[in-house]
Amino acid sequence: MGIGVVLVVDTVAVGMITRDSVKQRGVGVLSLVLRRLLSEVPNVTRIIISDASRDGTLRFIANYAARHGVEVLPIADNVGSRAFARSQVVNAFLNLTSDGYLLFLDDDAVLRRGWWVEAANLLNSGCHAVWGVNWDYHPGRMRVLAQLGMNPLDFYIEAFRRRGGTHDLLLTRDAVVKLAKHLPIPTWLHIYEDAFIKNALETEGIRICINKVGIIHMSMNSSGGYLGNIIDAGVRSLARARVIAAARRVYGIDEYGIYRDAELTPNLHDPYHLLYAILLKIYSRLITL
């Protein structure tokens, strides 16, 4: 049975996964993320944080939230995998809250003005999952796209359709219940957990709508230099290509990280399994978390 139309009157729980955000993003960026969240989204009751930090990030967010009357539900992340952290947040949302919506928000995602109005319109039109376009703060990728004759909005949407994204993914509670049927997300997927989530939602027949207002992604291409961005993109592409090649051979994984086989545990006696594990670890370090 499909999910019916919802009215945007319910409360919102925000899910964040953090690892040394104060150090990695800076107090200024993290404050801006939180300030725009609480000014843009009504009825935020709590922030669920799966935290693996050692720099006081949890304390910083908790203090900020307390000053605005927002509860913080902390969850210790002892694994250090984004996939594990996402699963933790979903379980906490379903088991510890009664909120109507879960908003995944990354620690470098600043909601643009009008984000909630657009999201509410999409929810009221029958959407149960809303993803916002990740507009880059730094201009490097926009310059490259312009030279290639590509429309940035089309590029971002196509990237999401292929890979997914969770920097600002808004879900109704019914959608989260359906997502939970597919948990836990395999921890080794790590930075591909967003592809898993997209695949799980679509498997359940949930249409993901695009919020073109979107967010400002503060961390992408942080160097800002043209040459630096070209080199950065080349290194990432090379590492990613090798990960995908190894993953396809070992697990039958598709291009964007969705597994097709039930057995996911690496075999330490199989050189290809070891190669995949090593490449995934290297690639994970090349991507800004």
Indicate whether 137 and 277 sit together in one domain. Answer: no
| Residue that terminates a domain, selected from 191, 217, 243 | 217
Which pLDDT score is estimated for 151?
87
- Is residue 192 included in any domain, yes or no? yes
Indicate whether 76 and 193 sit together in one domain. Answer: yes
Indicate whether 104 and 161 sit together in one domain. Answer: yes
How would DSSP label each residue in the chain?
A: -------TTS-EEEEEEESSHHHHH-HHHHHHHHHHHHHHSTTEEEEEEEE--SSSHHHHHHHHHHHTT-EEEEEE-SS--HHHHHHHHHHHHHHH---SEEEEE-TTEEEPTTHHHHHHHHHHTT-SEEEEEEEESSSHHHHHHHHTT--HHHHHHHHHHHH---TEEEEEHHHHHHHHTTPSPPGGGGGGHHHHHHHHHHHTTPPEEEEEEEEEESSTTTT--HHHHHHHHHHHHHHHHHHHHHHHHHH---TTS---SS-----TT-HHHHHHHHHHHHHHHHS--
Which pLDDT score is estimated for 66?
97
Indicate whether 233 and 211 sit together in one domain. Answer: no
| Residue that terminates a domain, selected from 217, 243, 258 | 217
Indicate whether 199 and 234 sit together in one domain. Answer: no
Indicate whether 48 and 135 sit together in one domain. Answer: yes
Indicate whether 88 and 213 sit together in one domain. Answer: yes
Which pLDDT score is estimated for 49?
96
Indicate whether 153 and 282 sit together in one domain. Answer: no
- Is residue 2 included in any domain, yes or no? no
In terms of residue numbers, what domain contains 125? Answer: 12-217
- Is residue 27 included in any domain, yes or no? yes
| Residue that terminates a domain, selected from 217, 235, 252 | 217
pTM (2 d.p.)? 0.75
CATH of the domain at 144: 3.90.550.10
Indicate whether 51 and 191 sit together in one domain. Answer: yes
Which pLDDT score is estimated for 152?
87
Q: Count structural domains, the chain.
A: 2
Which pLDDT score is estimated for 3?
53
pLDDT in tens, the chain (289 residues): 345 444 566 899 999 999 999 988 889 999 999 999 999 999 999 999 999 888 999 999 999 999 999 999 999 876 778 899 999 999 999 999 999 999 999 999 999 999 999 999 999 999 999 999 999 887 777 777 777 788 889 889 988 988 899 999 999 999 999 999 999 998 888 778 999 999 999 999 999 999 999 999 987 543 333 334 443 444 444 445 555 555 444 444 443 333 333 333 444 444 444 454 555 455 444 433 3
Indicate whether 26 and 143 sit together in one domain. Answer: yes
Which pLDDT score is estimated for 117?
93
Indicate whether 238 and 209 sit together in one domain. Answer: no
Indicate whether 200 and 144 sit together in one domain. Answer: yes
